[in-house]
Amino acid sequence: WGDEGKGKAPDLLGDQIDYCVRFNGGNNAGHTIVIEDEKYAVHLLPSGVLTPSVTPVIGNGVVIDLGVLFGEIDMLQQRGIDTSRLIVSANAHVIASYHRTIDKVGERFLGKAKIGTTGRGIGPAYSDKMSRVGVRVQDLFDEKILRQKVEGALLPKNQLLVKIYNRAAIDTSAVVTELLEYAERLQPMVQDTSLLLNNALDRGDTVLLEAGQATLLDVDHGTYPFVTSSNATAGGACTGSGIGPTRIERVIAVVKAYTTRVGAGPFPTELEDADGEKLRVIGAEFGTTTGRPRRCGWYDAVIARYAARVNGVTDFVLTKLDVLSDFDTIPVCVGYRLPDGSVIDEMPMTQTDFHHAHPVYEEFPGWREDISEAREFDDLPKNARKYIEALQDMSGAPFSVIGVGPARDQSLL
């Protein structure tokens, strides 16, 4: 569900890649990266921005809150990180102030039926994109076009705000003025990123396409409607970047040694007991973007296999194994018992069955040792190695990296 420590994987690959491209989502995604004693939290910027040799790119599939983007750039620059290499797609859509307003009042209006969005305007921006009334980055460089687009987008929204939500109408000129304030600073960063990336591949450069969110938050393949508003799966990498599917050679998925999610929706292995709280505390399981406490549970091999299938995963990065070092016994979900009594080992076809699924566990002995200093697989305790090997057999693809702590060097290749 997107909380797997995913920022670490592209950061580890930094020296092997030339371009790091965000292809979906917006600032509802959070990537935390630890380098030596420094911790960096980015939301819109690709993780590759922290590697001097990498060109970071925000692709056409991303929705961009420009205030957040420049806030992140300024934050990194103040900490001595060079962000001058950043390139932004001319076709990426912009999150305007009215998207955030609609998001927040809409969630409040839903009450108990709310989805649990971050309130950052992501869903409404994607809705406008699909309704063909969205504002794109390139529109900021033509004031006449920009005003027409904002007027068109606000016409139905102001009716909704005034007549349904009992809120004040939003002024077109105020929105246009706010967006135009970013245009001069933004323009030097903007390129045709599809052309840029395909030319890079033709030269033999290595391009890493980095998702926000995760498989079970994908709008098509996730736990709908408790999902994000974009395609976070590997197929979305093509549409969100303008790179054809035949050019993708490897699909690396990030999975945690236990399971968490933020927000509402089904979660079969969720623990609402002392073990769940223990995972939350030891793992510091609070959202990078929202700060919300994450719901915690045991590893779910069923959803790992599902992710391997729908993404065509070639290898997994397993993160946060060290968090499990304080448990005597570690259960792993190997299947689900459905309300009719049947047991399945694949994702249920319907949301109803998934919502009512009860996990079937296989238990593994813990290791009760600090593993944060391990740098080779053989450095791990015997029970930790057995746990990893069992998960690998269940998960549908080999593990290429094991994370034993948050720092860049706390990884077993």
Catalytic residue numbers read: 3, 31
364, β-bridge pairs: 330
Within 10 A of 287 (CB to CB), how many other CB atoms are there? 17
Nearest-angstrom CA–CA distance, 63 and 5 = 22
**Token pair listed for 168:** 């004040």
DSSP per-residue letters across 77-109? HHTT---TT-EEETT-EE--HHHHHHHHHHHHH
From residue 49, give the alpha-carbon distance in Å to each of 31, 187, 212, 262: 12, 19, 15, 26
DSSP per-residue letters across 202-223? HTT--EEEE-SS-GGG-TTTSS
Nearest-angstrom CA–CA distance, 33 and 296 = 21
Q: Which of 403, 262, 216, 242 shows the shortest CA–CA distance to 319?
A: 403
Give the angle subtended at the CA of 346 by the CAs of 345 and 350, to the nearest 5°: 125
Within 10 A of 169 (CB to CB), how many other CB atoms are there? 12
Nearest-angstrom CA–CA distance, 256 and 146 = 43
Element (H, E) at 133: none
- Give residue for tokens 């040799």: 53
Quickly list H helices, 270-399: 274-282, 301-311, 351-355, 382-395
Q: Radius of gyration of the chain from Cα atoms?
A: 22
DSSP per-residue letters across 363-382? EEE---S--TT--SGGGS-H
Is the Cβ–Cβ distance between 25 and 212 less than 8 Å?
A: yes
Nearest-angstrom CA–CA distance, 32 and 305 = 25
